[in-house]
């Protein structure tokens, strides 16, 4: 089958492209290389059935050319990463919403099986404290913060992407699924846009202080990109996933202080772990969630048990990849 991956030179996209090619599929990668890296596609260079197109998902002509003859469209291209979102709010909103609009229009014309990347950020302020609900379900109402906080612009842009996807499913019969990713991590992810695990590992290997935002007791759940890719392949093959919104991630929590400690252990680093106020990192008014834990019941009901590696093995993979770059 012919698959198109927007943002295919990015972190998740490049891993998915490799898995599809290994499975005998043709793959067209569309990427503007603003955050995606050509080095991520090194394993696909010269492979039969692989096409790389440099261009923007906001350009209908480029998207139409990339999608020509496609049977599957996976839309991963977006402005992501907390630092990038805070620093470039206009780009975030326009790229995420306009790009998704263009891709969905092209996919609907083709009737292609479609995946749209969403995010756990759409839950907004839900699970903001330690006594909040045990996990976040796809049918929970969402609670977005005020418009003066730039973080919530990103959340709203991805929520609107979901609305657009489901509207195309209703009006045009598009077989589309929206995927709410929860902290996907692994080799090839860089820390320059605020991603926490590679940022910790980079600091530890360089002997710099590992800076933990806030008081460090906030927790997240990390999912290895290889596990995410296996689940994405299963979702693509499941007609029951059409018209659905699905959480994708791990439900095993770890605090940021514990994560920093684990990174220091796995790197053998003597780096100090230092707390940094949110205001120092992101400016005044930044809001963070204390916990962010997905309910994976819907995913498991559709697909059965999904692969979830433990956090320490994920950290080891990220450390090994970072070391291989030096």
CA gyration radius, the chain: 19
- Round to whole Å and give the CA distance between 187 and 172: 38
In the numeric block, the tokens 């999904």 are attached to: 306
- Round to whole Å and give the CA distance between 82 and 90: 14
DSSP 294: B
Is 27 strand, coil or helix? strand
**CA dihedral (184, 188, 193, 196) positive or negative:** positive
- Round to whole Å and give the CA distance between 169 and 242: 8
Q: Where are the alpha helices (DSSP H) in the chain?
A: 11-22, 60-67, 82-87, 89-110, 150-172, 196-206, 225-236, 256-267, 278-282, 297-303, 311-324
Could you tell me whether strands 253-255 and 219-221 are parallel, antiparallel, or unpaired per DSSP bridges? Answer: antiparallel
The residues carrying an active-site annotation are 154
- State both tokens at 217: 């007791």
For residue 12, what are the CA distances in angstroms to 38, 217, 224, 243, 326? 13, 27, 10, 22, 22
Could you tell me whether strands 113-119 and 223-224 are parallel, antiparallel, or unpaired per DSSP bridges? Answer: unpaired
- Round to whole Å and give the CA distance between 56 and 91: 12
């Amino acid at each position: 089958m012919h698959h198109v991956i927007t943002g295919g030179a990015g972190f998740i996209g490049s891993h998915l492209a490799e898995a599809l090619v290994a499975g005998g599929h043709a793959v067209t990668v569309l990427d503007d290389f603003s955050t995606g890296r050509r080095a991520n596609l090194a394993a696909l260079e010269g492979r039969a059935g692989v096409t790389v197109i440099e261009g923007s998902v906001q350009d209908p002509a480029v998207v139409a050319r990339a999608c020509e003859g496609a049977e599957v469209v996976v839309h991963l291209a977006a402005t992501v990463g907390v630092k990038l979102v805070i620093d470039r709010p206009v780009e975030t909103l326009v790229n995420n919403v306009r790009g998704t609009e263009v891709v969905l229009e092209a996919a609907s014309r083709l009737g292609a099986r479609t995946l749209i990347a969403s995010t756990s950020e759409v839950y907004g302020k839900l699970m903001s404290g330690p006594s909040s609900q045990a996990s976040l379900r796809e049918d929970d109402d969402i609670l977005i913060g005020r418009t003066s906080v730039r973080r919530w612009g990103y959340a709203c842009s991805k929520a609107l992407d979901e609305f657009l996807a489901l509207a195309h499913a209703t009006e045009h019969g598009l077989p589309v699924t929206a995927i709410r990713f929860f902290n996907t991590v692994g080799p090839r992810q860089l820390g320059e846009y605020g991603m926490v695990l590679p940022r910790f590992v980079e600091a530890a290997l360089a002997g710099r202080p590992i800076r933990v935002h806030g008081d460090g007791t906030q927790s997240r759940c990390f999912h290895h990109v290889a596990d995410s890719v296996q689940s994405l392949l299963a979702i693509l093959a499941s007609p029951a996933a059409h018209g659905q919104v699905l959480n994708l991630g791990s439900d095993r929590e770890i605090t940021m202080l514990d994560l920093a400690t684990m990174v220091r252990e796995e790197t053998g680093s003597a780096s100090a772990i230092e707390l940094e106020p949110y205001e120092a990192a992101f400016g005044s008014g930044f809001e963070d969630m204390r916990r962010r834990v997905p309910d994976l019941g819907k995913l498991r009901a559709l697909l059965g048990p999904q692969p979830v590696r433990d956090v320490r093995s994920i950290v080891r993979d990220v450390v090994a990849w970072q070391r291989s770059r030096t």
